[in-house]
Chains A and B, each alone.
Chain A
Amino acid sequence: AGLFVLSAHSGYIAVADTVVADTACSLFCFTGGHTTEILRLLSCLSESYSPRHYVLADSDKMSEAKIRSFEQKRAETFSNLDRIPRSREVRQSWISSVVTTLYSILYSLPLTYKRKPDLILCNGPGTCVPVCLSAFLLGLLRIKRTIIVYVESICRVETLSLSGKILYYFSDYFIVQWPDLKKKYPKSVYLGRIV
């Protein structure tokens, strides 16, 4: 079993072995700005969610130190990090975003194929979209069925982020942290404020 983690500033994936599944990986996606949020979610997960594999955008300089310090405190499992190209920089145009996103999906496929995560956890960095889509594709091809869990950032009160708008349709569980979003997006899950 494994777990994948992804970060937006840099893209990052983590894999973990779970007790129940035979071979599992969970993939978590974070954005640089929201790395703190995803680490807070991870801090409450049991050791079943391991190994954790983190995915960061290659331009992310800030998140690695936070992740390493978090993982040091949780000595029970090995985790590692991968970097992938960022699919979309802030303010990048739509057309060129489509091209760079396709490139990022191609780039992500070997990674998701290799790690075959059981679970992907992400909260909205640009990097999580290509990784989630490539995992979705592996599911369609019956190569590996990965559960995609998207947690929208606490910052989003009334509107979803771009990643959220896309992954609303590709995630198994879509979690929002404000009641207004739950009303607008009925498929979403509202558990209160969880970070």
Chain B
Amino acid sequence: VILCIHPSRAPQALQSRGYQRLVLQVGRGSLPQAQPGSSSSAVAVEVFRFKESLAEELQRADLVISHAGAGSCLETLEKGKPLIVVINDKLMDNHQLELAKQLHRDGYVLYCNCSTLVETLQSMNLSALKPFPPGQPEKFASFLDKVLGLQ
């Protein structure tokens, strides 16, 4: 995902949509090299490898671009942030894609691959995304109480 975003036209596309700051979590990947002349005029870029929790960054974000990992997708949606899921075509058998695809079908996330990210950024209409309803663990609790006769 990082390689999709950084050395491409994505920062410019972000700037043209009014975003000013781009924060990248690169994990163990290589640190993105600044493209001389190109992205320096676009958004301000901040890079880190890992953080104990992404909650704070997510809270500050106006838009989240993520891989299809279930954890990242759900955490972002629960914070009520608009999400673009970037699919890695080379990992098509990855079961994690099931969730991302379903979330897209239900209208909760935008969905693209590396080569269509810039187009997606340019044409996206975030207000068309549906708010993600919270899960209902209390239904599980009452189900269990019932079958165990605890009610």
Contact = CB atoms under 8 A, between A and B. Distances in A.
Nearest to A42: B137
Contact of A155 (B99, B139, B143, B147): B99
B149 to A, nearest CB: 7
**6 nearest A-B pairs in the assembled complex, by CB-CB distance:** A44-B141, A157-B98, A44-B137, A155-B70, A194-B140, A193-B135
Interface string B136-151: 1111110111011110
B136 to A, nearest CB: 6
Nearest to B133: A193
Interface of A: 18-20, 33, 36, 40-41, 43-46, 48-49, 119, 147, 149, 151, 153-159, 161, 173, 175, 178, 189, 191-195
B137 A36 contact: no
Which secondary structure characterizes the binding site on chain A?
Answer: loop
A44 B99 CA distance: 24
B144 A45 contact: yes
Interface of B: 70-71, 74, 95-96, 98-99, 101-102, 133, 135-141, 143-145, 147-150
A113 B63 CA distance: 51
B135 A154 contact: yes
B98 A156 contact: yes
B95 A41 contact: no
Contact of B140 (A18, A44, A153, A155): A44
A154 B147 contact: no
B98 A194 contact: no
A43 B98 CA distance: 27
Given A45-B144, A153-B70, A191-B143, A18 B150 contact: yes
Contact of A20 (B71, B143, B149): B149
A19 to B, nearest CB: 8
B97 to A, nearest CB: 9
Contact of B95 (A36, A49, A119, A156): A156
Contacts of B141: 41, 44-46
Given A159-B95, A159-B98, A194 B144 contact: no
A116 B99 CA distance: 36
A158 B98 contact: yes
B150 A48 contact: yes
Contacts of A195: 135, 137
Given A154-B74, A155-B95, A194 B148 contact: no
A157 B102 contact: yes
Contacts of B138: 44
A135 to B, nearest CB: 16
B137 A192 contact: no
